[in-house]
Amino acid sequence: MSGKDNCYDNAVAESFFNALKTELIRKITCETRAQVSQAVFEYIEIFYNKKRLHSNNNYLSPDEFEEKMLLKEMGA
């Protein structure tokens, strides 16, 4: 097993998939793969990236964090 900041550290991916399962998959019922695919797409693009706050981003959404970093780079 590797430590933090090592290429084998998959804590971020594990955290994402845990959130996906608890916040979406266990709450919906789909009959087709297309429905599941659409639900996952909407979860990621509409909720997870735009609205959900992340503690490792100083409690900003990924989109807000990225925008803040781009503005910071442009101002530097």
Over range 51-63, report the average pLDDT.
Answer: 84
Does some domain include residue 12?
no
Does some domain include residue 6?
no
Question: How does residue 70 score in pLDDT terms, banded at 50, 70 and 90?
Answer: very high
For position 55, what pLDDT does the model report?
81
For position 38, what pLDDT does the model report?
95
Over range 14-27, report the average pLDDT.
Answer: 89
Residue 3 has pLDDT above 70, yes or no: no
Contacting residues for 51 by C-beta, under 8 A, at least 6 apart: 61
Q: Which domain holds residue 72?
A: 31-76
In the chain, the number of structural domains is: 1
Residue 1 has pLDDT above 60, yes or no: no
Does some domain include residue 18?
no
Does some domain include residue 43?
yes
